[in-house]
Amino acid sequence: MSVTTAPMPLLKITDLNAWYGESHVLHGIDLELGEGQLITLLGRNGSGRTTTLRAIMGMVDRRTGSISIRGEEFISKPAHRIAPLGRIGYCPEERGIFASLNVEENLLLPPTVGKDGMSLDEIYEMFPNLKEVRKRMGTLLSGGEQQMLAIARILRTGARLLLLDEITEGLAPVIVKALGDALSRLKKSGYTIILVEQNFRFAAPRADRHYVIEHGKVVDRIEADEVDAKMDRLNHYLSV
């Protein structure tokens, strides 16, 4: 018997639970995304969006459920095997630029996880600011430069699945626009992206689907073409 099935999602998360020490933060997250898609995780402060990304990367104290990437189960893999096996690049909310490394060392730190990562030249072409400061120590950068560096550093590795946490937070509009352009280019060249974002207007035009997270659970799932119809609901979720 042959059935035509939807293509296997690149990432499928089922009933993901996560803990920091004794504190139980994720209570059964379900989400999925296909190759080349961009989804956003929306929600109020403290709802568990960062923790969802950290749980995928193995950066929580305990996690249960299922995280399947290209059909392979990742839930019990040790943290340092996850990025290479899943070809994942993680850009943390606090950016994680290393103060004792200069810009170029920061860029070159993450090991490659796949072929056809961007070369340094391509990266400097996408983020020209970084080239000028490449010998500067990590913490002497402006917020915008740090953010670009945090993204650039995972593009070099050949990662195809990008987890980006609040990349526009606290940045000037002109930099937000530059990041938006970079994001569109990445999407066009086939990267799969999970975006945690407060700035809905930044996220909306590029997203295929939105997940709304509350208290460590997905409470709603809104496809890009339903956004207009469900604007009231979205506003309600995101209002403080």
Partner 1 sequence: MLNLILAQAMLGLNNGVFYAMLSLGLAVIFGLLNVVNFAHGALYMTGAFLALILYSYLGVWIGIEDLHINFWAALIIVPILIGALGILIERTMLRWLYNFDPIYSLLLTFGITLVLQGLFVNFFSASGTPYPGQPESLRGVVDLGFMIFPKYRLFAIGFSIVICLAVWFIIERTRIGAMLRAGTENPDLVKAFGINVPLMVTLTFGFGTGLAGLAGVLAAPIYSVGPLMGADLIIIIFAVVVIGGMGSIMGAVVSGFALGLVEGLTKVFYAPAANTVIFFLMVVVLLVRPAGLFGRQS
Ligand X SMILES: Nc1ncnc2c1ncn2[C@@H]1O[C@H](COP(=O)(O)OP(=O)(O)OP(=O)(O)O)[C@@H](O)[C@H]1O
The residues of the shown chain that bind Mg ion, judged by CB under 5 A, are 50, 93
- Terminus-to-terminus CA distance in the chain, angstroms? 52
The answer to whether 147 contacts ligand X (rule: CB under 6 A) is: no
Ranges within 141-160 binding partner 1 (CB under 8 A)? 157
- When asked if residue 43 is in the footprint of ligand X (CB under 6 A), the reply is yes
| Paired tokens of 35 | 């190759």
Q: Does 96 bind partner 1 (CB under 8 A)?
A: yes
Interatomic CA distance for residues 229 and 75, integer angstroms = 36
Among 30, 59, 221, 226, the residue binding partner 1 under the rule CB under 8 A is 59
What's the token pair of residue 114?
A: 């796949």
x/- site string to ligand X, residues 121 to 140, per CB under 6 A?
A: --------------------
Smallest distance from the beta carbon of 187 to ligand X, in angstroms?
Answer: 22
User: CB 106 → partner 1: shortest distance, Å?
Assistant: 8
Give the residue with the Cβ less far from partner 1, 113 or 133. Answer: 113
Burial classification of residue 55, based on how many CB atoms lie within 10 Å of its CB (0-12 exposed, 13-18 middle, 19 or more buried): buried
Please, which residues have CB within 8 angstroms of residue 138's CB and are 6 or more apart in sequence?
97, 98, 99, 100, 101, 102, 103, 106, 146, 149
- Is the CB of residue 83 less than 8 Å from the CB of residue 89? yes
Q: Which does 9 bind (CB under 5 to 8 A by kind): partner 1, Mg ion, ligand X, none?
A: none
In the complex, the residues that contact ligand X under the rule CB under 6 A are 20, 23, 25, 43, 45-51, 93
